[in-house]
């Protein structure tokens, strides 16, 4: 009797066949591969969003810093430095009480014509040896217009930072644009 019960118990535990096991493993591999791909895509999207946010934040900080410098300035000189690509520079004449003359310029990153960094340097020359305040600018001309003072208004400098992680496409560019007045300029 005991032998017969064992035989009946063993017959009920036949298990899975090799074909069934392979089918289950193939389905599991497909599902896990899809989930892994979704996680990888989400991770890449998060990294891209963080990089874009950091580049935009650097642009806002740079605009705030240049705004303070321009407000202190008596006059400005916008210069174009010929080269490939062209570099734009603005030298601000600032009284000694505000810290002295400051230069801001855009410098090509790695010789690119679609990616520029913004540098700040004391004195009347500017290069990548200065303090890099922003990156991923897609236009070298960050200082499009300087208007000298007149009898009715102070001098002003237009600032235009176009920031994009994707290169020269201005469609997805984050743009910081302002006209800032030189508070220490004198009306003529």
User: 92: part of which helix (H) or strand (E)?
Assistant: strand 87-93
**Total of domains in the chain:** 1
pLDDT tens profile 49-105: 898 899 899 999 999 999 999 999 998 988 887 776 778 899 999 988 888 899 999
Cα angle 71, 76, 79; round to 5: 140
Residue 91 lies inside a defined structural domain of this protein: yes
* Residue 156 placed within a domain: yes
| Within-domain flag for 149 | yes
- Residue 39's pLDDT is what? 93
pLDDT greater than 80 at residue 158: yes
pLDDT band with cut points at 50, 70 and 90 for residue 153: confident
Asked whether residue 32 is assigned to any structural domain, the reply reads no
Q: Residue 6 domain-assigned?
A: no
Residue 27 belongs to some domain of the structure: no
Nearest residue to 155 (alpha-carbon basis) of 177, 134, 181, 178 = 181
* Residues spanned by the domain of 122: 40-181
Return the pLDDT at 98. Answer: 81
Q: What is this structure's pTM?
A: 0.76
11 assigned to some structural domain:
no
Counting every residue written for the chain, the total comes to: 188
Residue, of 43 and 110, whose pLDDT is higher: 43
């Amino acid at each position: 009797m005991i032998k017969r019960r064992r035989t009946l118990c063993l017959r009920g535990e036949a298990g899975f066949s090799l074909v069934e096991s392979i089918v289950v493993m193939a389905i599991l591999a497909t599902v896990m591969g899809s989930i892994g791909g979704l996680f990888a895509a989400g991770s890449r999207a998060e990294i891209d969003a963080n990089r874009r946010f950091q580049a935009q934040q650097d642009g806002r900080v740079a605009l705030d810093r240049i705004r303070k410098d321009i407000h202190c300035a008596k006059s400005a000189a916008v210069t174009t430095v010929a080269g490939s690509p062209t570099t734009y520079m603005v030298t601000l004449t600032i009284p000694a009480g505000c810290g002295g003359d400051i230069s801001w310029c855009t410098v090509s990153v790695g010789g690119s014509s679609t990616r520029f960094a913004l540098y700040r340097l004391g004195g009347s020359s500017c290069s990548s040896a200065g303090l890099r305040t922003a990156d991923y600018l897609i236009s070298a001309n960050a200082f499009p217009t300087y208007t000298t003072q007149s009898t009715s208004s102070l001098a002003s400098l237009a600032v235009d930072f176009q920031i994009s992680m994707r290169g020269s496409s201005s469609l997805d560019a984050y743009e910081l644009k302002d006209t800032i007045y030189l508070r220490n300029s004198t009306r003529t």
